[in-house]
Amino acid sequence: MNVDWKALLDEATVKAYTKPIEINADWVSYRFPPDPYGASLKEGRYNIAGESGFYMASGIKCAQAEVPNHDLKELYSITPQTIYAFDVISFATAKGLNDIVLAAQKNGGHQICQELSTHLTTHHGLTGVFYQSHQMLQQGETGYCVCVLPRADQTIDEGFMQPYPLK
């Protein structure tokens, strides 16, 4: 399905759906050793291959559901903070787009979400999205994720997350 993001996402709409997301001590991220602060360049729901993406989940169960081969990675706690991100859940509900943004990768779900995040970063300078976990939904449960999409020249600092559990 083709979506005209430019028509759907004017400045006022992006501003209305950009929300403060309160990250508490339950939020985690599976990271690759030996550089857990490096961004994953592997394709994900909201980043294309070669594009930086920092993914975090609203709890360990959600992270395990979302991250293939999580047992090969190290678990990190996200430092409690407020992240301003585009609320894909509310936006998709209001616009009748839930089915496409929650679609499985094989059904084009990743491509639609990547187009959305590319539009947000390119045209609006927004670098974060808040969304419902597709994998948890498939299990009949609820979980949430945030993807931070920094510019190629940006990194996160060591204060952003720490080895699990948070001390």
- Per-residue pLDDT band at 100 (split at 50, 70, 90): confident
Residue 105: pLDDT above 70? yes
CB atoms within 10 A of CB 115: 15
How far is Cα 130 from Cα 85, in angstroms, rounded to an integer? 6
* pLDDT, mean of residues 3-22: 93
Quote the Cα angle for 164-84-51, to 5°.
70
What pTM does this model have?
0.89
Delimit the domains of the chain by residue range: 5-163
pLDDT of residue 11: 93
> Residue 45's closest CA among 126, 125, 102?
102
pLDDT of residue 17: 96
C-beta of residue 129 within 8 angstroms of C-beta of residue 116: yes
